[in-house]
Structure 1
Amino acid sequence: MVVRYHGGAADESVRVTAACHPHSARRLLMRVSTTFGRLAAGTLVVALGTGLAGCGKSGDSGSGGSGDGKVTISVMGLPPATKAATRQAFLDRVAEFEKANPTIHIEPSDAPWDVQTFAAKMAGGRAETVLEIPLTEPPGLIDRKQVADISAEAKALPEYAALDPRIMDTLSRDSKIYGLPESMYALGLLYNRKLFAAAGLDPDKPPATWDEFRADAKQIHDRTGQIGYAPMSINNGGGWHLTAMTYANGGTIEKQNGDKQAAGFTDGDATAQALDLLHAMRFEDNSLGTNMLRKSEDIAPQFAAGKIGMQINGPSAYGSYLSLYKGKAEDFGAAALPQGPGNATLIGGTVLMVSAKATADQRAAAVKWMEFQYLKPAYDPDIAAAQAKANAADKLPVGVPGLPIYDQSVVAKVDAAVKPYVNVTTAHFQPYVDGTAKLKLVPEPPVGSQDVYAALDPVVQAALTRQNADIPALLKTASGHVDSILQQQ
């Protein structure tokens, strides 16, 4: 069985519904994305910021035999009925795959990843053959022996050697390969170029450090009256962004403690410094506005309307900025995440894994499907160009940077093929491309990331709403809570 995997926190381009995993929508949109102008660690994606609906039922992979000599695998990834065009496109790909591989039968499923039910599905043998899961999950799945060693099948794939080793490290254990990447993202800083200019700032020189970030936010507020920076603090968004800021400051959220993970954010002052910064911006600079209980859906429309100068997010939000919130393309800017001593940013994404319950024939069929549907468009210039042409014809953004799963030798070929169809102002994304290429890419906390983010939300809220907030005490309390969560994982 193939398991696909996604991670992250509340963001309308990342989160779907409370019942479905945060990155179901991102995965769907990335499948129809094109690439160009990638970082040494970045790929261009199309993301409209829409969510998937309908958390459907999963199928049982069974033995994989159909009685007619065919191997049967059920695959997640089928868009819901409410997305008629993309659903039909997926079904067309299934038909194309089956025609090219007549001994394999595909049973598509529109059941998205659901963190609440996944464990029970796996234990009960009810999981699809091809599943989608977040980048936070592989360590636990490997430890619990729920996913199969696919080393032989993976290493036989075209361009396998060009897959980014930083990503593959999260999918490997003891020299064995347990999964393959599908799509990745890295958090950065989105900013309104028009507000920067109105505040007397250079739109081509966004802040690179937290000190510059704070100063720019204050200048935007003081000179334009608008919100300099809008932090998230609810729906796990506060903990998610605090994690990214902690990484940038050189800290960690979780650490290894024996055979379990434990809270690591009270080791050193990286997390406390991030909270001190938010507290000072709120109570000394008054640059964060008045609403301190924001989620992504609160920030996105105001940002598009030019009422917010900066937000932490990925460039893939550009699609929803244009289509959903009617923002102006010329005002959108993207930069790398501002840095402290860590020189790092948070990455997440979707990966593909194979269930330990799969037969040898199913494993082989599953990896073949993974390569056909998800990997080949990322390394084959002809397929990438065809997708880019179609997306450009549909007036979808082509040329928005993200993270590639392949190295520069592959990326360069795909970029060249896609370049004629790029329809965004690539210069407005160049600060993100150049800056993120220099950063360490750190995955989300490996165990219980969403629960950990939820435990950190109240700490962020306190820093933003209490002038006398005792940040060390708040972190100590949260550390105990997180330790309790992680002990149960």
Structure 2
Amino acid sequence: MKAVMKWIAAASLFMSGAAQAEPVTLDIWTIDRPDQYMYLLKDEFEQSHPDIKLNIKTVQFRDMVNDLARATATGESPDVTYIDNPEVALFASRGLLLDLGPMLAESKVIKKEDIFPGPLSSVTWDGKIYGIPRGANTLALYYNADMFKATGLDPDNPPKTWDELYAAAKKLSDPAKNIYGLAFSAVATEEGTFQFLPWLQMAGGDYNKVDTEGGIKVLDFWGKLLDEKLASPDTLIRSQFDSTGTFNAGNAAMAISGPWELPRMGREAKFDYRAALLPIPQEGATRASALGEGDNVILAKSEHPKEAFILLEFLYSKMPDVWNRFGFVPAANVKSNDPKTPAIYAVFEESMKYARNRGPHPEWPKISKAIYTAIQSSLTHQSDAKTALGTAQKQIDAVLNK
């Protein structure tokens, strides 16, 4: 009898050990650098969920769509990835993302009615939800208040119209000190489209109607800034990150960028930096800004959808902290925890009221390419603004009429 009992005890011990499965490892793709969002939250998540490990890979923002398309075609896609908000429709329409509806219905952490309409629409395709916003962002005008004072400009009255922006940029430019009046990005990537669209929208156009008098006015204005060297020539090749770096270093008096820059700006900028809403074409004009930031999505072929959704819930639960830690505006109706730089926070909070989605459309990359190619063509004087935008319109019409 004792032998039988020992055998039962040993068998029970064996079965108990076998039941303790190895932790599930989720493959995560992100555009973050090691000092940003996903990496900084990794340890917190793993400590609170010891049965799930995260294997994180950084993919460059400009490469994410192509790399993800190749990975899904070869069966090597991650479990969870970041996708820029206009790209959700591209992947969802092709059946590559997991419909989160059933899990959202059971979730005690994420309530879709709490997510703001703009961010929610960016993850919605054909009536289904395919992602969870990790935050939101938009664009504003940063400016160096110390430079404003030194040149006789009032830092409490930043430029409100395009004419005022031009006048300020001209006064603030100092070629002898290698200081440009304004830094922004017109690079031939999605970032260029992102920066251009609010200007186009304020001038009466949109992503599906670019060949407008307003569109010509925008490109002519941008061209004037470049031709008069009020903005650096490398505006055409540098990212938003790089252009803001120029501002942080004191080589640009103003910069157009988003709140994601604030953590770095707080470390690098040794001056009084402030923010204002994007200037409008003229008094009384419609205001617009861009809806940015991306979404956390689960790939349809993930072998661990349950664990992947647990990660999405955890990331969503950090929404009250995203402003202070990562420079995101909350994408849901939550209260930010004692926001740093409250005056700048108020500017971006106000700007979010005017932020518009890019698309959505399943062929957004083709639309965006037509737009940023037109920007480059005009600003490098390969063609005039009217011709460049006319060419882009034909390409966009061909996509939209499919």
> Deviation of residue 166 (structure 1)?
1.9
Question: Which residue is equivalent to 1:219?
Answer: 171
Q: Does the alignment pair 1:243 with 2:197?
A: yes
- Mapping of residues 92-171 of structure 1, within 5 Å: 93-98=45-50, 105-106=52-53, 108-110=55-57, 112=59, 114-155=64-105, 156-160=107-111, 161-171=113-123
Q: Which amino acid aligns with 2:375?
A: V
Pair 1:170–1:218, CA change in 2 (3 A) = same
Question: Which residue is equivalent to 1:406?
Answer: 332
Structure ranking higher in helix proportion:
2
The SS at the match of 1:184 is coil
Whether the 8 Å CA contact 1:147–1:355 is kept in 2: the answer is yes
Question: Which residue is equivalent to 2:159?
Answer: 207
> Deviation of residue 342 (structure 1)?
3.9
| Runs (5+) with no aligned partner, structure 1 | 1-65, 100-104, 256-263, 388-396
Question: Which residue is equivalent to 1:478?
Answer: 392
Question: Which residue is equivalent to 1:371?
Answer: 313
Whether the 8 Å CA contact 1:129–1:358 is kept in 2: the answer is yes
- Mapping of residues 288-299 of structure 1, within 5 Å: 288=231, 293-296=236-239, 299=243
Q: Does the alignment pair 1:327 with 2:263?
A: no
The SS at the match of 2:255 is strand
Pair 1:265–1:88, CA change in 2 (3 A) = closer
Mapped to 1, the partners of 2:38 and 2:196 lie a distance apart of 34
TM-score by length of 1: 0.65
Question: Which residue is equivalent to 2:294?
Answer: 350
> Deviation of residue 304 (structure 1)?
2.4
TM-score by length of 2: 0.77
Q: Which has the larger radius of gyration?
A: 2
Question: Which residue is equivalent to 2:220?
Answer: 276
> Deviation of residue 224 (structure 1)?
9.9
Pair 1:302–1:222, CA change in 2 (3 A) = closer
Mapped to 1, the partners of 2:255 and 2:37 lie a distance apart of 32
Mapped to 1, the partners of 2:261 and 2:305 lie a distance apart of 35
Task: Show CA shifts across 1:374-398 (max 9, x none).
Answer: 111225xxxx4xx9xxxxxxxxx94
Whether the 8 Å CA contact 2:39–2:56 is kept in 1: the answer is no
Identity of aligned residues (%): 22
Q: 2:183 aligns with which of 230, 239, 244?
A: 230
Q: Which amino acid aligns with 2:205?
A: G
Mapped to 2, the partners of 1:151 and 1:93 lie a distance apart of 23
Q: Which amino acid aligns with 1:265?
A: V
> Deviation of residue 197 (structure 1)?
1.7
Q: How many residues align?
A: 374
Q: 1:181 aligns with which of 133, 137, 147?
A: 133
Mapped to 1, the partners of 2:369 and 2:300 lie a distance apart of 31
Whether the 8 Å CA contact 2:261–2:327 is kept in 1: the answer is no
Whether the 8 Å CA contact 1:154–1:367 is kept in 2: the answer is no
- 170-179 vs 443-452, greater mean Cα deviation: 443-452
Q: Does the alignment pair 1:436 with 2:387?
A: no
Whether the 8 Å CA contact 2:374–2:389 is kept in 1: the answer is yes
Whether the 8 Å CA contact 1:234–1:295 is kept in 2: the answer is yes
Question: Which residue is equivalent to 2:11?
Answer: none
Mapped to 2, the partners of 1:89 and 1:173 lie a distance apart of 28
Whether the 8 Å CA contact 1:345–1:442 is kept in 2: the answer is no
> Deviation of residue 83 (structure 1)?
6.6
Question: Which residue is equivalent to 1:102?
Answer: none
- 469-478 vs 299-308, greater mean Cα deviation: 299-308
Mapped to 2, the partners of 1:337 and 1:165 lie a distance apart of 22
The SS at the match of 1:74 is strand
> Deviation of residue 181 (structure 1)?
1.1
> Deviation of residue 199 (structure 1)?
2.6
Q: 2:258 aligns with which of 305, 314, 336?
A: 314
Whether the 8 Å CA contact 1:247–1:442 is kept in 2: the answer is no
> Deviation of residue 472 (structure 1)?
0.7
- 312-321 vs 438-447, greater mean Cα deviation: 438-447
Pair 1:336–1:344, CA change in 2 (3 A) = same
> Deviation of residue 352 (structure 1)?
1.9
> Deviation of residue 97 (structure 1)?
0.9
Q: Which amino acid aligns with 1:250?
A: G
The SS at the match of 1:110 is strand
Question: Which residue is equivalent to 2:15?
Answer: none
Pair 1:168–1:71, CA change in 2 (3 A) = farther
The SS at the match of 1:228 is coil
> Deviation of residue 318 (structure 1)?
2.8
Question: Which residue is equivalent to 1:337?
Answer: 278
Pair 1:186–1:194, CA change in 2 (3 A) = same
> Deviation of residue 82 (structure 1)?
7.0
The SS at the match of 2:279 is coil
The SS at the match of 1:186 is coil
RMSD after superposition = 3.9
Pair 1:449–1:303, CA change in 2 (3 A) = farther
